[in-house]
Amino acid sequence: MSIDEFIDGVVEDNIPDEEVIAWLRNVYERGLSESETVILTESMRDSGEVLRWDESHNVVDKHSTGGVGDKVSIPLAPALAACGLKVPMISGRGLGHTGGTLDKLESIPGLRISLDAEEIIDQVNEIGLAMVGQTQGLVPADRRLYALRDVTGTVASLPLITSSIVSKKAAEGISSLVLDVKFGKAAFMKSRDSALELAKSMVSVSRGMGISTAAILSTMDRPIGYSIGNSLEVLEGVETLCGRGPADLEELVCVLGGILLKSSGLSHDLEEGASKIQDSLYDGTAFEKFLAMVGSQGGDTEIFENDSTLMRGLGILDGDLYSTTMESGESGWVSDIDAMSVAEACLEMGAGRKSLDDEIDRGVGVVLEVQVGDHLEKGDVWATIYHREGQVVEVVEMLKEAIIIADSEPAAESRISEVIW
């Protein structure tokens, strides 16, 4: 049976679970060649509807393997649209310490994240972007395959990871793709070598399907930015759209966006592209695109009038949401903030999901008041916890060991380890 015939059988439900599981285990144990992975990915893409564009040369997207405080998509997609690209960003929900992009965006009152293919195309053609969930018609093969991978311990297969991610992006009809593959203590890929292997696999397969693709390797040992938690991350994403975001988040947005501008022919090199993205954050054009997207998808744009209305609209000022500060027990330089400790504390409060059926509490989370390289005096506040009644004692205990204070100032380091063209 060919790969095409197998995927047809998976979608039509003509192949029993036992045979699909046997095939998955065989791939997990023996792998697939690059050409076979391309065929598998193309078959998965073509198992459902594919978005079609009149002009596909400037339709782009980004994929991240996920991390703590990863709200990059929120400022990146509008910045790309402000620079003349079309961004049909189809995202997922989070299973783990905090929500995915969709969970974060649903903190915005009224925002509709379920659009059909025609609505996505119309909106992107009109305003330049859409940030929505996967439609039922896109890559149906992946839903069945992933469900069986999840229960058979075959999730970690490189060709299966590659085909799952790339097929969904390819179904958007994009011409260019950038990948943010993270490694570190709080990443899916713990080592740089494993992240590099995954990045090269996805870049090769995506290029094999005719999509201009590049990737960055970025570290995930400490949280991105200051905010971890759904509403809190939307707030920080909006601040970044207004030129007031944390430096590490802005760097990721500008480099990822710069890569896509270069690959789409809208800049001569990465530096020029990154500069154009940064300009859109500082001159208000990216924020204008974000507001247009929120309004088009039914969200309440009035909450973005000022900081107070935004915090109230996102539920951060709710009466049943309490805040507790964490103080430094010593003086010195912040040498590390453990992302996994912060993530587990947020999960304990309900910011994420332990199972797909769990409800997310979008208000809870942690805001760091410092980043690595900052100096603290004993008694200075280094974090604020946003929590519900009865949660704080356990969360404080979980966070006590998250921050490391050193006697000397640590060397400044970029999150971005490598760009793979």
Q: Are 105 and 234 part of one and the same domain?
A: yes
Kindly state the average pLDDT of the residues 224-245. Answer: 97
For residue 271, give every residue at least 6 positions away whose Cβ sits within 8 Å of its Cβ, in sequence order, or none: 258
Q: Are 300 and 332 part of one and the same domain?
A: no
Catalytic site residue 268? Answer: no
**pLDDT exceeds 60 at position 95:** no
Give 332-348 pLDDT, tens digit per residue. 999 999 999 999 999 99
Catalytic site residue 164? Answer: yes
Among residues of the chain, what percentage have pLDDT more than 70? 99
Kindly state the average pLDDT of the residues 99-103. Answer: 87
Please check whether residue 116 is in contact with residue 110, taking contact to mean a CB–CB distance below 8 angstroms: no
Q: Are 298 and 328 part of one and the same domain?
A: no
Q: Are 278 and 178 part of one and the same domain?
A: yes
**pLDDT exceeds 70 at position 406:** yes
Q: Are 111 and 208 part of one and the same domain?
A: yes
**Residue 96: per-residue pLDDT:** 63
**Residue 304: per-residue pLDDT:** 97
Catalytic residue among 62, 86, 93, 168: 168
**Residue 57: per-residue pLDDT:** 73
Separation between Cα atoms, residue 347 and residue 359, nearest integer Å: 11
Residue at a domain's end among 242, 271, 304 = 304
Q: At what angle are helices 158-170 and 192-208 packed, to 10 degrees?
A: 50
Kindly state the average pLDDT of the residues 194-201. Answer: 96
**pLDDT exceeds 70 at position 94:** no
With respect to residue 324, please indicate whether it lies within any of the assigned structural domains: yes
**pLDDT exceeds 60 at position 22:** yes
Query: How many structural domains does the chain have?
Result: 2
What's the DSSP call for residue 228?
Answer: E
**Residue 97: per-residue pLDDT:** 66
Kindly state the average pLDDT of the residues 213-226. Answer: 97
Instruction: Return the CATH number at 125.
Output: 3.40.1030.10
Kindly state the average pLDDT of the residues 305-314. Answer: 95
For residue 259, give every residue at least 6 positions away whose Cβ sits within 8 Å of its Cβ, in sequence order, or none: 178, 214, 216, 270, 273, 419
CA angle 199, 201, 206 (to 5 degrees): 95
Q: Are 73 and 112 part of one and the same domain?
A: yes
**Residue 147: per-residue pLDDT:** 84
Q: Are 273 and 347 part of one and the same domain?
A: no
Separation between Cα atoms, residue 332 and residue 405, nearest integer Å: 6
Catalytic site residue 168? Answer: yes
**pLDDT exceeds 70 at position 416:** yes
With respect to residue 111, please indicate whether it lies within any of the assigned structural domains: yes
With respect to residue 15, please indicate whether it lies within any of the assigned structural domains: no
- Which domain range does residue 383 map to? 320-406
Question: What is the band of 100 on the pLDDT scale with cuts at 50, 70, 90?
Answer: confident
* Across 4-18, 22-36, 354-368, 386-400, least confident range: 354-368
Q: Are 196 and 280 part of one and the same domain?
A: yes
Mean pLDDT of the residues in the chain: 94
Catalytic site residue 149? Answer: yes
Catalytic residue among 47, 61, 62, 63: 63
**pLDDT exceeds 70 at position 397:** yes
Separation between Cα atoms, residue 308 and residue 83, nearest integer Å: 29
Q: Decide which of 335 and 156 is more confident.
A: 335
Q: Are 386 and 354 part of one and the same domain?
A: yes
Please check whether residue 274 is in contact with residue 225, taking contact to mean a CB–CB distance below 8 angstroms: no
**Residue 1: per-residue pLDDT:** 82
Find, among 226, 180, 230, 227, the residue nearest to 203 by Cα. 180
Instruction: Return the CATH number at 351.
Output: 3.90.1170.30
Q: Are 275 and 342 part of one and the same domain?
A: no
Q: Are 185 and 261 part of one and the same domain?
A: yes
Q: Are 216 and 117 part of one and the same domain?
A: yes
With respect to residue 269, please indicate whether it lies within any of the assigned structural domains: yes
With respect to residue 139, please indicate whether it lies within any of the assigned structural domains: no
Residue at a domain's end among 235, 269, 304 = 304
Catalytic residue among 61, 103, 142, 248: 142
Kindly state the average pLDDT of the residues 90-95. Answer: 74
Kindly state the average pLDDT of the residues 48-66. Answer: 90
Give 347-374 pLDDT, tens digit per residue. 999 998 877 678 899 999 999 999 999 9
Catalytic residue among 86, 149, 169, 362: 149
With respect to residue 346, please indicate whether it lies within any of the assigned structural domains: yes
Kindly state the average pLDDT of the residues 264-287. Answer: 97
**Residue 409: per-residue pLDDT:** 94
Q: Determine the length of the chain.
A: 421
Global confidence as pTM: 0.95
**pLDDT exceeds 90 at position 108:** yes
Quick count: other Cβ atoms within 10 Å of Cβ 394? 13
With respect to residue 309, please indicate whether it lies within any of the assigned structural domains: no
Kindly state the average pLDDT of the residues 396-419. Answer: 94
With respect to residue 280, please indicate whether it lies within any of the assigned structural domains: yes
Catalytic residue among 164, 231, 328, 341: 164
Residue at a domain's end among 304, 328, 358 = 304
